[in-house]
A and B are shown apart, each in its own frame.
Chain A
Amino acid sequence: MNAETVRLWLDDRIGIGSIAAVARKKEIPVHRHSIWYYFGGMTLFLFSVQVGTGILLLLYYRPSAETAFESVQFIVTEVKFGWLIRSVHSWSANLMIATLFIHMFSVFFMKAYRRPREMTWVSGVLLLFLAVGFGFSGYLLPWNKLAFFATKVGTEIAGVIPLVGRPMLRFLRGGEDVTGATLTRFFGFHVAVLPAITTAIIGAHLMLVQMHGMSVPPGVDNEKVKRMKFIPNFLLRDLIGWVLAIGALAALAALFPWELGEKADAFASAPAGIRPEWYFLFMFQTLKFIPAKILFFDGEVVGILAFGLGGLMLFILPFLDKPDKPRRKTVITVIGVIVVIYIVVLTIIGYLG
């Protein structure tokens, strides 16, 4: 039985021919901004690294307040290549958030969210929120001091939201305080709830990208632009990026292994120099700077609601930007630039402070 017979057999039953035809049809515009097209695929690749290493960690990880810290300690000290798998999982998570941000801002500035790609953007912002959820829930799992306080603060932030805050805090924590019950819940979110939702939305996101093709930015002539075949030309270039990413992950894991820290203690002061993961730093730093009272309201409530509003604006961005209103386009670009500068500056201050 040769390959052609197998192909024909499969084509008759599951129609692989039509799938291949769709894949062959896909083309990538080639222009001076083409580099940004790589970041979506890179994010997807790093996500697959997360799935792979995550499954491996599941073989040894034990989700309870009594065993979690010790099981991670066991993974990094006793299990062969445990240090590598755990560090790659942590580093890949961080790089994934970074490439996701780059991907999002490139789409933002190239106006690729406009008609007919509004829902592609919306699904992408959902994936950003899910990725942040993955980061937040996964951070607690080693059950160390930093994670414990980060989770206390993070869930308390949810708790200060008027009306829904308290029930949400109890739902997240599995009670009034951050305890073993919280760890069990976060584990469930991290390995079951979030992966299920994320897989579905990634599927929709990719389907939409495939359906609408790649967006060409406003400054480039859509008719005259050169095009490259996705298979094999662009995919091979993608592959080079992924191989480089594997190299980078291995190097980072070997040179800067992810620390485990000290085991969480619900009756110890917060350690000095505590701070969350870098992608939460700008919000963390804002909460440090915000005064205790703004008019009649608690400062942190105002700050948190402002960030919530920011997230909502991001989500509905395609419906705020109307191409027939050029003034609005400029305003949105300017706000985007200010937001990027704000995030970068506060992150740096957060690191130095």
Chain B
Amino acid sequence: MKTESHQDSLEQKGECAQCPNRTHAAEAEHDGKGRRRFLNYLLGTGFGATLIAIFYPIIRFITPPMIIEATQNSVTAGKINELAVNSGKIFKFGNKPGILIRSASGELKAFSAVCTHLDCIVQYEPEKKQISCACHNGQYNLSGQNIGGPPPRPLEEFVVNTRGEEIIVSKA
């Protein structure tokens, strides 16, 4: 009985009857652990690398490519006779909207039409003689300064020149 239980405990420790040499068994156990660790490491890195190989292209794919637009420095925004006094119009400046205003005194002004608050497109209000944004009630004066509502910055101002009838707007 005693021998049997001793045998049991030996087996539990991994020191089997077939390999009575304890140092040898310990070495084998150590080797086994080392090999297992090595295999786990190999599997782990392999698995990790596979995941990276799968997800890296996916992440790059869902990020839209940068499209480099030919930078436009000036544009024909309209014709003077088409723009009434005390009115404004939206024009295309590259792929962004701009706003061209002919003030009550006849002066021509042009700004970026993108509200500095949250990207909406502003409009000219003839009654108040100011620029406003319908989204969150942002207000700008005719120098583009933010004078009311939530916009944090003034509108970007453009330079306006006329060439005959044509109104040319260019970046400062």
| B150 touching A299, Cβ below 8 Å | yes
The residue in chain A whose Cβ has the minimal distance to the Cβ of B124 is A269
Q: Report A112-124 CB contacts with B as 1/0, cut-off 8 Å.
A: 0000000000000
Could you tell me the distance between the alpha carbons of A205 and B90 in the complex, rounded to whole angstroms? 50
| A170 touching B64, Cβ below 8 Å | yes
| A292 touching B152, Cβ below 8 Å | yes
| B64 touching A270, Cβ below 8 Å | no
| B95 touching A153, Cβ below 8 Å | no
Known A170-B64, A181-B64, A288-B136: A152·B118 in contact at CB below 8 Å: yes
| A266 touching B150, Cβ below 8 Å | no
Which of the four size classes fits the interface of chain B?
20 to 34
| B150 touching A300, Cβ below 8 Å | yes
| A174 touching B134, Cβ below 8 Å | no
B17 within 8 A of A: no
- On chain B, the residues within 8 Å of A291 by CB distance are 150
B122 within 8 A of A: yes
The residue in chain B whose Cβ has the minimal distance to the Cβ of A288 is B136
B144 within 8 A of A: no
| A175 touching B64, Cβ below 8 Å | yes
Could you tell me the distance between the alpha carbons of A272 and B96 in the complex, rounded to whole angstroms? 21
- On chain A, the residues within 8 Å of B90 by CB distance are 267-269
Minimum C-beta distance from A163 to chain B (A): 16
The residue in chain A whose Cβ has the minimal distance to the Cβ of B135 is A270
Contact residues, A222-274 vs B (CB, 8 A): 266-274
The residue in chain B whose Cβ has the minimal distance to the Cβ of A290 is B150
Q: Report A284-299 CB contacts with B as 1/0, cut-off 8 Å.
A: 1001101111000011
| B152 touching A293, Cβ below 8 Å | yes
| A153 touching B63, Cβ below 8 Å | no
Could you tell me the distance between the alpha carbons of A156 and B135 in the complex, rounded to whole angstroms? 13
* Given A156-B118, A274-B120, 16 new contacts (CB under 8 A): A149-B121, A152-B118, A155-B119, A167-B63, A170-B63, A171-B62, A175-B64, A267-B121, A268-B121, A269-B99, A269-B122, A288-B136, A292-B150, A292-B152, A293-B152, A298-B152
27 contacts between A and B (CB under 8 A): A149-B135, A152-B118, A153-B120, A153-B136, A156-B118, A156-B119, A170-B64, A171-B62, A177-B95, A266-B97, A267-B91, A269-B122, A269-B134, A270-B120, A272-B134, A273-B134, A284-B136, A287-B136, A287-B150, A288-B137, A288-B149, A290-B150, A291-B150, A299-B150, A300-B118, A300-B150, A300-B152
Q: Interface on B for A, CB 8 Å cutoff?
A: 62-64, 67, 90-92, 95-97, 99, 113, 117-123, 133-137, 146, 149-152
